[in-house]
Amino acid sequence: MVLKITKGDPRVSLTGRIDVDPLGATLCWCGSKITLRFFGTNLKIKGQNDNFGPESYIGAVVDGEELCFKLGGSRPFELTLCENLAKKEHAATIYKRMEGHYFTVSEISTDGEFLTAPPKPRKRIEVYGDSVSAGSVVDALDYVGKSDPDGNMGQWDNSLHAYPQLIADMLPAEVYDTSQGGIAIFDGTGYFEMPSTRGVESCYDKTRYSSYREMSDWDFDFKPHVIVMAVGQNDSHPDPDCLKKPEYYEKWVSKYIEIINSIRSHSPKAAVVLALTVLMHDPAWDDALEDIKNRLGGESGRAYHFMYTRCGKATPGHPRVPEQKEMANELTAFLNSLPAEIWED
């Protein structure tokens, strides 16, 4: 049986910012995934990789087994995700491991049949973040608490092991991971798309968000109960002292609030959780998030500032799996402590 993905097909569950058109489903942001069930002995996919980085990999999970496939450059691909399985019901997820590319799944096939996709969790969260939230270099397990290893071409990036996907399993919740490595709030700051960098202000409302390709608008049809804002790590580039300048500080805080309010205009009841990560950073950025929380009205305005136990102190390199689990455990406990009505539609 061959399955071509269309919106509303009950056999396919789509999570994350995915562009569905007649050519297939294009997974754009990290952590985007296609989840399904099938009765058969194999599962194959066909598609097209659209690469704007050095290398690219995609991930899959079949019956709990994690798989990784290298795609290389921009080209069509055909992958056998699994074969020689027992002829029974199986669960599979195809997901975007990393940044630096989009990939389109044009068809999925099995020698059996596709079943109704599993139901989605009731709770809904969207995370706006940078490389930590995207799972960059998370699988470099020999470098826990250390700077990043040389030679990363994406082989250690894995959104499945980043805290947004971990909390998705722990709560459980449907989580959209709208994160991009190197991104800051403003265009011209941070590291995303150097040397002409682009910030959250130009990307948060996009499905296809990279200027290397034609961009497309996001329709905000996903309505989160909680919006996690985890941006601030990269905003000190190129000026490490920018927050010490009152005019710039006010400009940055105001733009952050403007973006939050714009996102909230599509989900008016959503709570906002401001939370930087355990990657080392100047505490001034945490202080700025505290100010933003207060300007949004604090808890009475459904705005919270959560700080991990080791916020900004744990590691000079990207958090690896143990540190991501540490963050996920703490953030999940905090989310579970929020008033029950936050999770009501």
Distance, CA of 66 to CA of 165 (rounded, Å): 14
Q: For residues 5 and 12, is the Cβ–Cβ distance under 8 A? A: yes
Distance, CA of 134 to CA of 136 (rounded, Å): 6
Angstrom CA distances, 205 to 91, 117, 318, stand at 32, 28, 26
- Below-50 pLDDT ranges, the chain: none
Question: For position 72, what pLDDT does the model report?
Answer: 84
Question: For position 287, what pLDDT does the model report?
Answer: 98
Distance, CA of 4 to CA of 326 (rounded, Å): 39
Question: For position 119, what pLDDT does the model report?
Answer: 96
Helix (H, G, I), strand (E, B) or coil at 301: helix
DSSP 230-246: E--SSTTSS-TTGGGSH
**Exposure class string for 316-332: b at 16+ Cβ within 10 A, else e:** ebbbbbebbebbbebbb
Task: Find the length of the chain.
Answer: 345
Angstrom CA distances, 150 to 74, 194, 280, 336, stand at 24, 19, 19, 38
| Crossing angle of helices 283-295 and 246-264, rounded to 10° | 50
Strand partners, 114: 38
Helix (H, G, I), strand (E, B) or coil at 282: coil
Distance, CA of 144 to CA of 159 (rounded, Å): 17
User: What is the torsion angle, in degrees rounded to the nearest 10, for the CA atoms of residue 217, residue 24, residue 128 and residue 37?
Assistant: 150
Backbone angles phi, psi at 155, to 5 degrees: -70, -20
Question: For position 15, what pLDDT does the model report?
Answer: 98
- Which homologous superfamily is 124-343 in? SGNH hydrolase (3.40.50.1110)
Q: For residues 33 and 40, is the Cβ–Cβ distance under 8 A? A: no
Question: For position 342, what pLDDT does the model report?
Answer: 98
Instruction: Kindly list the domain boundaries of the chain, sorted by start residue.
Output: 2-115, 124-343
**Structural Rg of the chain based on CA atoms:** 20
Distance, CA of 196 to CA of 187 (rounded, Å): 8
Question: For position 54, what pLDDT does the model report?
Answer: 81
Q: For residues 194 and 100, is the Cβ–Cβ distance under 8 A? A: no
Question: For position 3, what pLDDT does the model report?
Answer: 98
Question: For position 33, what pLDDT does the model report?
Answer: 98
Q: Where are the alpha helices (DSSP H) in 99-245?
A: 131-134, 163-170, 200-203
Q: Which helix (H) or strand (E) holds 21?
A: strand 18-21
**Second-level CATH architecture of 2-115:** Sandwich (2.60)
